[in-house]
Structure 1
């Protein structure tokens, strides 16, 4: 069963690792990679990625991308949101801290930031203008009929 607007936004706001999918070069399948993202219900999802990364170059070329998050336990559920890539700006240390705080235990945030600044290089913050949503909630595995 499809999720309501409030349900899908609440699910997307949880700290899932998303699959980002973006059109690739001609003759290649779309690039699909795991990525951290940030989202608050009613807003626009955003992510950080390397300023010189293939991913960002493809997002710039396509002008749009998709984020998909899912869960298999305790329930089978997913939300996919697609739209235009908008407001690409330089990522900041505060952006990195906000993102790391969403996914990591508090004691790991500062060490992660130090590592990311050294290893990942300059980051670009990319916002997604949500235009198309696809969602499904199949409930828990115990709720499914046995055939």
Structure 2
């Protein structure tokens, strides 16, 4: 059964690992990679990626990308959102910690943040303007 707008936005706001999809050219299937992301209901999903990465180059060329999040328990559920790039921006000073805090805590968060601030210094924030949604909870019936 399809999720309501509120249900799909609340599900996307949870700290799932997303599959990011972006077209990779006429002779290739889409690039699909796991990625951390952030989203607040009513807002724009965003990801961090290297400014010169293959993923970023494909996103710039396509002008849009997709995110898919899913779970299997307690019922199979997924939300997919697709849309144009709304903004590409330099990250703020706490963006690595803010994003990682959705997935890590305590000492692991501290270690990751220290590493990311050095090793991922070339990353940019890519925001999507949600245009198309697909969602379902496969364990519910009407």
TM-score when normalising by structure 2: 0.94
CA deviation vs aligned residue, 1:33-80 (integer Å, no higher than 9, x gap): 000000011111011011111000100000000000000111100000
Instruction: Quote the RMSD (CA, aligned, Å).
Output: 1.4
- Please state whether the residue corresponding to 1:73 is helix, strand or coil: coil
Which runs of at least 4 in structure 1 moved beyond 6 Å after TM superposition?
none
Consecutive unaligned residues in structure 2, runs of 5 or more: none
User: How many residues are aligned here?
Assistant: 141
Q: Which deviates further from its counterpart, 71-80 or 107-116?
A: 107-116
Deviation string, structure 1 residues 1-30 (Cα, Å, up to 9, x no partner): 000000000000000000000010331110
Matched with 2:12 is: 12
Give the C-alpha shift of residue 114 in structure 1: 1.6
SS at match of 1:15: coil
Contact kept in structure 2, 1:91 and 1:122, CA below 8 Å? no
Deviation at 1:81, TM superposition (A): 0.2
Comparing 91-100 with 76-85, greater Cα deviation is found at 91-100
Q: Please give the residue correspondences for 1:62-77 in structure 2 after superposition, counting only pairs within 5 Å.
A: 62-77=62-77
Aligned equivalent of 1:59: 59
Choose 1 or 2 for highest CA Rg: 1
Stretch deviating more after TM superposition (105-114 or 19-28): 105-114
Structure 1 gap segments, 5+ residues each: none
Which stretch shifts more, 87-96 or 126-135? 87-96
Greater helix share, structure number: 1
CA distance in 1, matches of 2:51, 2:16: 23
TM-score (norm 1): 0.91
